[in-house]
Structure formats: C-alpha cells, structure tokens
Amino acid sequence: MDATEFRKRGKEMVDFIADYLENIEERRVFPSIKPGYLQELIPDHAPEDAEKWDDLMKDVERVIMPGVTHWHHPHFHAYFPTANSYAAICGDMLSDAIGCIGFTWASSPACTELEVVVMDWLGKMLNLPEEFLAGSGGKGGGVIQGTASEATLFALLAARNRTIHKLKAANPEIDDARFMSKLVAYCSEQAHSSVERAGMLGAVRIVQVPADENHCLRGAALEEAIRSDKANGLIPFFVCATLGTTTSCAFDKLLEIGPICAKEKVWLHIDAAYAGSAFICPEYRHLLDGVEYAESFNFNPHKWMLVNFDCSAMWIKDSSQLVDAFNVDPLYLKHENQGSVPDYRHWQIPLGRRFRSLKLWFVLRLYGVKGLQAYIRKHIRLAHEFEELVKKDERFEIVGEVTMGLVCFRLKGPNERSEMLLKRINDEGRIHMVPSKIGSTYFLRFAVCASGAESKDIDFAWKVISELTKHLIGEHQTNNLK
C-alpha cells in the first residue's frame, strides 16, 4: 500500500469506523459463537501473494464481527466502561503515523514533554496535591501506564525496593532474601485481583483485610492486621486502597487508612481505576480526600474519560523511588540531557512506549473540562434512573450504594434465581451484563458504559430484565404446582 492508496483506503476506513459506531445498535451486543469458530473461517497459513483490500474488508464482516463483543453498544452493561471517542481515535492515528518509541527524552522529545504537560493538566483537574505534579518543582510527576494493573505492580515493586534498601542499610549483614520473606502488603478483600497478582509477581505475601458492612476497608481493620503481623516478626511495607471497587464500586476510607500508613511508614498506593474520572467533578472530589497520604495514585482515563485504551494515569510524589529501583543504564540509551528531564523508561515495566499522551491531549482540548464533567454526570444520572426502576419493583433489591455509574442488584430470594436470570439475559443477547459476589450474596452488575447512552437505553434494559424475570418466575410457579 503506497501513499496514494492509503489516502483512498484510509478515508474508507474512517467511514467504516464511523458507520460501525453510529449503527452499532443494529448488531447483537454479545456474540453467539463457540470457541474455535474463527479457525474454521480462515486458512491455516498466511497468503503467499498479496490480497486485495476489498477482499480483506469483506472478511472483517465475515470473520471478525461475528466474534466481537461490542463494548460501545448502548446495551452493553458489563464490567466497567472502556472509553471511546472520535477525538481519541484521531490522536491514536497520529501516534501510529509518527511511530516513535519514547523510552527516553532524546528518542522523541515531544513524546516525553507532552506527557509531562498533560499529566499535570489532569492532576490539576483532580486537584491533586502539588507534590504529585511535575510543575511543582519537586520530585513528583505523572506517567501514562498501560493499565492500572501495571501501575499497582510498579508501585509495589518500588515500595519493596525502598523497604529493602532501608533494612539493608541498617542491617548490612542480612541477606536480601531474608528480608523478602518477611515483607507483607495489604489490601481490602474487595480489591481487584490485580493486587493479589502484583504480590505474586513481586514475590511478597498479600493480606486481604476484611471489609466493613459497606464493603469498604477501614482504618481499624488495617491497623489490627499490621499490629498482628508485626507481632509475628513480619515487615509491613505496602497498602493498596481502592476507590471504586470492581465488585460493587465501594470506596475504602482514605482518611482512616492514610494516617496509619504514615505512622507505620508504609507506602500507600491508591487504585481508582474506574471511579477516578469522576473526581474531576467538584461534587465527587471529596471521595479522594486523604490522597495527600499516598505515595502513588492511579486511575484510568481509558475507562471513563473518553480516551481510548490504553491510557492509565499514574502519579508519584517522588519519582526517584522509581528511577533508583529500576535504573538500568546502557550507553546506547544515554543522552546529554539525562537527569534534567524524565526518561520514562525508568517509570514503567517495558522499555518501549507509544506516544499515548497525544490522544489524551486531543480529548482534553476538544472536550474541555466542562465537556468531560458533563459526560461523567450524565452517566451517573442514568445509573440513578436505573436504580429507581429497580427500587420500584418489589421482586428486586439493591446491593450496596449507587455512587457512580454502576448499579448492583438481585432478585430477592436464593442466589439461583439471580443466576438463572443472568444466564437468560446473556443467552438472549439483547443486553449484556456480568455478575459479582460478596460473601455468599450473588448479584448482577449494571454498568452504564456506552458513550452515547441515553435514558431510552436504560428503559430498554429494564424492559428486557422485567420480561425475562416475569417468564422465570412464571416457570418457577408452574413447576411448583406440578
């Protein structure tokens, strides 16, 4: 494909993308295929000779689309949203065209410098403490990671390195492995599975502290867990607090957890992957109170801020904690401005990195803070509309508090009723949802996901749920009479 054909086919692809997104409602939201379906539709080897563009595009519909779960469908209500906007797509197009690998400032100065600027913009939108901002003149700053899972792992590894370094300085005769065997990190039992996985990858034990009746990690429970472990000769070094848990969007109590971490000199990392976007709205910023106690903070603009995956925003108060922990400095990566500007290869697990700040820059400029605030508020309003529909139906009950764009609910009675309802919902395919479970309570999660979601989509989803519930209960009553 040369430039002439690219101009033609590129315009066709833009039209295809726009048509796909604008008419996505005509497609089944969740595919009805079996594992291995695709292998039967394409050859088992690559073509020897070049094929035609038109044939390739026909296969997009024939081969790819039947197996796509349409995350931007207005009837997709599973997981959490994954953000999407034409502004971000344009930013990604430019990033792909520039094609730089921005591991150091010298490898593409604009790639590094735009990231420094837009991460400070975003930090100011969240009203983060000055220590987290590169422009503050201190050691803080922001970096775009691929996912919140990477951010948690990287924070844990930096905290582990800092702790071992301090222990080694005081006890130089003791082997690192002995210290490692005693390290312990903490999170709520409701924290994302990626926190537990970070502990596995970091070769440290993770203690999942019991949450309270509202599914939040409280200070007293954390304090008791730390006290018990210290009494047993263990070394607490890291706490991951969650703001907006995946199971039910609960918020750990930062103002209780933070002072304990400060007293114990334990690294506090905050995972606000989904809910963090809402903190740009002043009425939800209080949920972030206590962030001043944290060493690192992370949320995903690629979930709820119209920036396409991947774009996970992470801030740290002292970037030297990352650089010192992971500095491998071969000659071919050195440059004359080293030390005066960030080299983001030290701030992440991979070496290479895309020009991800472009799509964030495009979105921030083309929507503005007010536009993004309006988008967040609309999703939350739609969630409350669904909540009211659930509350009016005596067959259902709400699980937990509805704070963001997620509603957790269930059919009253045994778990099996809600399990059967969800299976029917997803088998039928008009809407798509996933379940969750806290303790022994099984429930359904209804997330407002689509960027273009409207009240009519909420009403449609409730109509589907009500119809299938009526059939389910009717069948149950009939069976009981037999």
DSSP annotation string for 367-425:
HHHHHHHHHHHHHHHHHHHHHHHHHT-TTEEE-S---SSEEEEEESS-HHHHHHHHHHH
Q: How far apart are the first and last CA of the chain?
A: 68
Check residue 107 and give its pLDDT.
79
Which one is catalytic: 73, 75, 77, 192?
Answer: 192
353: tokens are 């990195």
Check residue 481 and give its pLDDT.
41
pLDDT in tens, 178-217: 888 999 999 999 999 899 999 888 889 999 999 999 999 9
Closest CA to 453 of 405, 415, 393, 414: 405
Reply yes or no on whether 192 is catalytic.
yes
Check residue 111 and give its pLDDT.
84
Cα 137 to Cα 130: distance, rounded to the nearest angstrom: 9
268: tokens are 């506090």
- 232 three-state secondary structure: coil
Cα of 260 vs its chain's centroid, Å: 26
Cα 275 to Cα 309: distance, rounded to the nearest angstrom: 16
State which residues of the chain have pLDDT below 70: 105, 330-332, 340, 476-482
Check residue 480 and give its pLDDT.
59
DSSP string, 144-200: EES-HHHHHHHHHHHHHHHHHHHHHHH-TTS-HHHHHTTEEEEEETTS-HHHHHHHH
Check residue 218 and give its pLDDT.
96
Please work out, in degrees rounded to the nearest 5, the angle formed at the alpha carbon of residue 349 by the alpha carbons of 294 and 271. 30
57: tokens are 């595009």
Check residue 105 and give its pLDDT.
65
Q: Which residues pair with 184 in a beta bridge?
A: 205, 236
* Whether the Cβ atoms of residue 266 and residue 239 lie closer than 8 Å to each other: yes
Check residue 482 and give its pLDDT.
46
Which H/E stretch holds residue 240? strand 235-242
Check residue 332 and give its pLDDT.
63
Phi, psi of 443, rounded to the nearest 5 degrees: -150, 170
Q: Which residues pair with 458 in a beta bridge?
A: none
